[in-house]
A and B are shown apart, each in its own frame.
Chain A
C-alpha cells in the first residue's frame, strides 16, 4: 500500500481565499483523522471519522473549518475564508483503531 496520501504538499494562499486539503487513507482503514501541527500548539486533533461518519469535531477551531468524507477512500478539509493564523502543517492519518499512520502533510501558508 502507498500509505496515506495527502495533496497538495504545499499551499500558499491569500487571506480570505478558500483552501481545500485532500486525503486518501490506507485501504481498509476505518478511522480517518485530521491533525494540525504548529510550533506553539503541537499536534492537535481537529476531527475524526469512523466508517465515513464524523465522530468528534470538537477540535475544529472555528466554523470556517469543515471536513467531509464522502467515501472510504477520500476526505477533505476545507477552510473558508482562510486567515494567516491558519498557517500550519495539516496531517491526515488513518488507522484500524490502534496505531495511526500519517500522511506526509500539507504545509499551508496564508499570507
Chain B
C-alpha cells in the first residue's frame, strides 16, 4: 500500500463552486499533513498544513483531518479559474518522519 493515495482526477468544477480534494494515508502514526499546489510547469508550493483532527481554515481553503479514518481533505470554497492546478497531499516519511512523501496529486479544473 502506498503511503499516500489521491484520486488523479481531473476534477472539474464551475467557478464559484466548492472543490473537494481527498487524500488517504497508510501510516496511523502520521502526525502532520501538508497540501501543496502545483501549477503546470511550476514547482509545488505549500497551501496548508494540519496537525490536529478536525478542520483548519485559511481564507477560501479548509483542511479537514480524520485520523481514525486516515484521510485528509482540502476544500476550496468559491473556486476560481486561478485555482486550476494539481493539488498534492504529503505526509512525513514513515521511517524517519522528516522527508515528505507525496501523493500523485489531483488535477483540478475550474471553468468560468
**Residues of A that sit less than 8 Å from B by CB:** 31, 33, 35, 41-43, 45, 48, 50, 55-56, 91, 95, 97-105
**Total number of B residues with any Cβ neighbor in A under 8 Å:** 21
**Residues of B that sit less than 8 Å from A by CB:** 32, 34, 42-46, 49, 88, 90, 93, 95-96, 98-105
A51 CA to B99 CA, complexed, in Å: 14
Chain B's interface: helix, strand, loop or mixed, by majority? loop
What's the count of A-B pairs with C-beta under 8 Å? 50
Say yes or no: B95 contacts A43, CB within 8 Å. no
Contact for A31 among B45, B49, B95, B98, CB less than 8 A: B98
> If A43-B88, A55-B96, A56-B93 touch, does A91 touch B43 (CB 8 Å cutoff)?
yes
Chain A's interface: helix, strand, loop or mixed, by majority? strand
